[in-house]
Chain A
């Protein structure tokens, strides 16, 4: 990856809240003009990572290169190039016009302000005449989020970071926010990093998916996490017992690790069990959902094994050969040694 094409390069990043490590990233590169999808459960470290990328916080250890330059202390210049939209937008106690114009006002850029505000509002589907003079408390949740989005878009940032931007808004607002964020990339080549639980959206627009769990980044996208409790199976293996009686057998963890990761690439899918004793895990389940990864043509398939869900990245050929479709019963196979512990 050419250095000149990199927006971010994170090296040996560790971040702590008190004594708790919330982020641990050895090396992460994000290309200029790309769309990166950030996937992970609540509390996994997505918001912290976005705050670091927004230069709103300094990592406890390690450093962040932006456009190849080490950034610290954070100057207003760097902060003016990167902007973050959070899930719960904070609107200043002013009207919509003043909220959207705030960023330009502090940059003392007052040229064609009204026109720019009008355009930003239009981008998020709000009418200037109707909304410009509304107070912050006269907006619905979806409208407030769209105003917050417009306040970022008007700045034409080099990087637009979105933290669950559509998690608590109505369908119409979600659609408009999705479209507006893509315009940032298409119109002025902004780099986008989006954390969202809307996997369908992320897989359809992102160039790269990063999965994050317990502060660890998996650049291969979403991976399968198996959390405690585990039971001892024999001297080498431990077992995760599912409530339907199936058992997942895994190589015992090393000290201080208790969460298992099974990479997508380590799991195979089949329609029948095999009498091969070497394959320790043959789990019965059904396909819960299938998502097309537009950029690659792969199909992200969620397999439900009773009360657990596994993710697999299947080729169209596999789908066709096995005649897979949502609801179809399948068998997942992987070795006990295929586990990684964190």
Chain B
């Protein structure tokens, strides 16, 4: 029990003292999870809208596939991305292995189905009267798209936050594709795994606290936005 309490004190000490290794992991985590989030929102939002708004053949099959992808294990994504970008892989020449770009690609693949599926469900839940109202007020296709997205903005924010939480806390992709290189590709989660393996529980707890704090701030921002 003592080492847990000690971990909390160590956490504050590491953060306040500006420990380079800790802050590097925090910065790397924030950087790649934000990039992968932006990429997955950029791709997932329009895809989710199209799937949710329109009826087409094989829509149900596509939804089933998307829902399955929600449960993709991060190590599997890590493995697949590794296979593609390793020196022997088809994209090996790009030199993405053990880089932040490589991790961002893997995390985008992880977040994309989450953003797409939740956006599609949110769009599907739109009241039928909304479209009729917009049409009857003279809205064109662009206005309908923009207004529908704005009407379900909280649902989309929830999709983004859920996906952000997933990429922020994943370890499989960062470990396999990033290689956990100190000051380069080490993220908070890979650092926790490493410190725990080394028996440095205090450092692990410190990083865990940082992770929880980030998640807390993100959710706090969401509730603030909801109130606006």
Which residues of A are interface residues toward B (Cβ below 8 A)?
A: 51, 54-56, 76, 79-80, 82-86, 88-90, 92-93, 102-103, 106-107, 148, 151-152, 155, 161
Contacts and interface: CB of A to CB of B under 8 A. Distances in A.
A90 B138 contact: no
Nearest to B138: A80
B139 interface: yes
B129 A155 contact: no
Interface of B: 127, 129-130, 132-133, 135-140, 143, 147, 150-151
Nearest to A78: B138
A82 B139 CA distance: 12
B132 A84 contact: yes
B143 A51 contact: no
Given A92-B147, A93-B151, A103 B137 contact: yes
B132 A86 contact: yes
Nearest to B141: A76
Contacts of B129: 86, 88-90
Going nearest first, the 10 A-B pairs with the smallest beta carbon separation are A80-B138, A90-B129, A84-B136, A103-B137, A76-B140, A90-B133, A56-B135, A106-B143, A83-B136, A79-B138
Contacts of B130: 90, 92
20 contacts: A51-B132, A54-B136, A56-B136, A76-B139, A80-B138, A82-B136, A83-B136, A83-B138, A84-B136, A86-B129, A86-B132, A86-B133, A89-B129, A92-B133, A92-B151, A93-B150, A106-B138, A106-B140, A151-B137, A155-B138
Contacts of A79: 135-136, 138-139
Contact of B138 (A86, A88, A103): A103
A93 B225 CA distance: 14
A106 B137 contact: yes
B135 to A, nearest CB: 5
A155 B137 contact: yes
B139 A106 contact: yes
Contacts of B139: 76, 79, 106
A76 B130 CA distance: 17
Contacts of A151: 137
Contacts of A51: 132
A103 B134 CA distance: 8
A152 B136 CA distance: 8
